[in-house]
């Protein structure tokens, strides 16, 4: 691999980009990036220029010889790339607002990666990921693709199932937030512990937390019974101590959508009625962020970016890239292929799992059989993911509707049908890949 790295970020106009740039600057001694290309589409041109100019000021202020390129030409950017990162949103935040508000009309949860919202984000996103991979096979066949675009688990499933491309790693900031919390609770540093995550993206559990050859998970489960640990984009809701005791593993904050559905749905509907859905809140955060980004005197990442919900994303993405480039063999939690590491999930499917990251990619830890307490839910959600991915590949909207019908967060097939049909109409400009006659 080149000593003068070329990295391409697709969705370069994202508000997350300054955090990514900061991560590359901090690691310049171990990641000698000569060129960082920020790519977007015509609709994102203004944001790309604003973020790109901030990125240039950050690099100049840091005094690192990294050149920033801005382009709307993805193929030009991809030529000879060593790494590609993806962080785009098809339809931008206005599409997310629809994903939240339309399901609410039919008494359904609207959320970016779960339920009806997650289905339509996948329908819009996966075809674009396939196009990017086709370009990469032609223009930078040895490059690694590090994906942060949601729904990350379904995107990973689609790539592993149909793209015939194995230099792909999905990342998420939920595990690193949990890992940081574990380290703080155990009064140590994140590098001193190895949590064994296993499951699916936004549905992984922690089965062990090793510190100095001792599993400290029992202590963390006791602490969880008394805490309200959550993510910025998930409402605070305390776990039920007897439930955690019986569960026996450490759940992700996203599990609250399944285990506390009524409470989460009630909070969601209150947000909808008050005009403050998560998407609309994020739009306000982004508006304020871009006002700061425009400031010609700003040359660092604003602290307010952490409110965006993606805090520590750069630590994951940049660390994974560095671990590949330098063959560090560090432990990270990534979305990769299940090759017998979790025996109760299908061979070859996408899983989220703790892995050692080498120059050849991830080497996952072995989880084996899943506890009965979590096995059924994970298998149910994986079946939904695979049917949805099949629907995308087959361009079959009827199968995509069926996937929503069997999703564990769907409580009424009739309501799912209505929400699906209205979302199809609302997003029709981004669903031209599909055969409408299949509905």
Which pair of tokens denotes residue 262? Answer: 């009524």
Q: Rounded to an integer, what distance in angstroms lies between the CA atom of residue 374 and that of residue 358?
A: 30
N-terminal to C-terminal alpha carbon distance within the chain: 47
Which pair of tokens denotes residue 426? Answer: 């609302």
Q: How far is CA 260 from the centre of its chain?
A: 22
Catalytic one among 106, 196, 254, 257?
A: 254
Q: Which residue has the tokens 């425009």?
A: 294
Based on the residue annotation, tell me whether 254 is a catalytic residue of this protein. yes
Q: Rounded to an integer, what distance in angstroms lies between the CA atom of residue 248 and that of residue 242?
A: 10
Distance (Å) of CA 373 to CA 53, 244, 383 = 50, 10, 18
CA-based nearest residue to 161, from 338, 4, 353: 338
The answer to whether 145 and 167 are in contact (CB under 8 A) is yes
CA-based nearest residue to 196, from 316, 306, 351: 351
Q: State the greatest distance between any 2 C-alpha atoms of the chain, in Å, as a whole number.
A: 59
Q: Which residue has the tokens 């059924």?
A: 376
Q: Which residue has the tokens 């590098």?
A: 191
DSSP one-letter code for 216: -
Angle (deg, nearest 10), helices 92-105 and 261-274: 110
| 3-state SS class at 175 | helix
Active site residues: 254
């Amino acid at each position: 691999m080149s000593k003068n790295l070329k990295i391409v970020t697709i969705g370069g106009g994202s508000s997350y980009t300054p955090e990514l740039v900061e991560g590359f600057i901090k690691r310049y001694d171990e990641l000698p990036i000569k060129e960082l290309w920020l790519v977007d589409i015509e609709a994102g041109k203004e944001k790309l220029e604003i973020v790109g100019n901030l990125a240039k000021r950050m690099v100049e202020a840091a005094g690192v010889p990294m050149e920033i390129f801005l382009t709307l030409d993805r193929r030009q950017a991809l030529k000879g790339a060593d790494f590609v990162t993806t962080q785009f949103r098809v339809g931008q935040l206005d599409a997310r607002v629809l994903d939240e508000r339309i399901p609410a009309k039919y008494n359904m949860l609207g959320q970016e990666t779960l339920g009806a919202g997650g289905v339509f984000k996948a329908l819009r996103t996966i075809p674009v990921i396939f196009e990017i991979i086709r370009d990469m096979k032609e223009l930078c066949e040895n490059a690694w693709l590090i994906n942060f675009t949601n729904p990350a688990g379904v995107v990973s499933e689609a790539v592993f199932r149909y793209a015939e491309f194995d230099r792909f790693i999905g990342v998420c900031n939920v595990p690193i937030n949990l890992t940081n919390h574990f380290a703080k609770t155990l009064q140590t540093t994140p590098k001193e512990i190895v949590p064994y995550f296993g499951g699916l993206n936004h549905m992984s559990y922690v089965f062990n937390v090793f510190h100095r050859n001792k599993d400290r998970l029992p202590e963390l489960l006791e602490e969880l019974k008394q805490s309200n640990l959550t993510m910025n984009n998930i409402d605070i809701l305390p776990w039920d101590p007897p439930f955690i005791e019986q569960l026996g593993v450490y759940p992700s904050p996203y599990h609250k959508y399944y285990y506390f559905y009524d409470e989460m749905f009630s909070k969601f509907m209150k947000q909808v009625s008050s005009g403050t859905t998560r998407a609309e809140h994020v739009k306000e955060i982004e508006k304020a962020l871009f006002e700061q980004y425009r400031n010609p005197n700003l040359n660092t990442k604003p602290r307010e970016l952490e409110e965006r919900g993606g805090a520590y994303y750069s630590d994951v993405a940049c660390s994974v890239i560095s671990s590949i480039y330098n063959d560090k063999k560090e432990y990270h939690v990534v979305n990769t292929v299940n090759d017998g590491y979790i025996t109760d999930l299908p061979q070859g499917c996408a899983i989220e799992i703790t892995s050692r990251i080498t120059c050849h990619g991830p080497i996952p830890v072995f989880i084996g059989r899943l506890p009965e307490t979590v096995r059924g839910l994970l298998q149910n959600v994986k079946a939904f993911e695979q049917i949805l991915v099949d629907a995308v590949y087959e361009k079959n909207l009827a199968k995509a509707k069926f996937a929503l019908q069997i999703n564990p967060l769907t409580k009424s097939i009739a309501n799912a049908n209505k929400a699906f049909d209205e979302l199809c109409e609302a997003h029709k400009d981004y669903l031209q890949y599909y055969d409408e006659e299949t509905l």
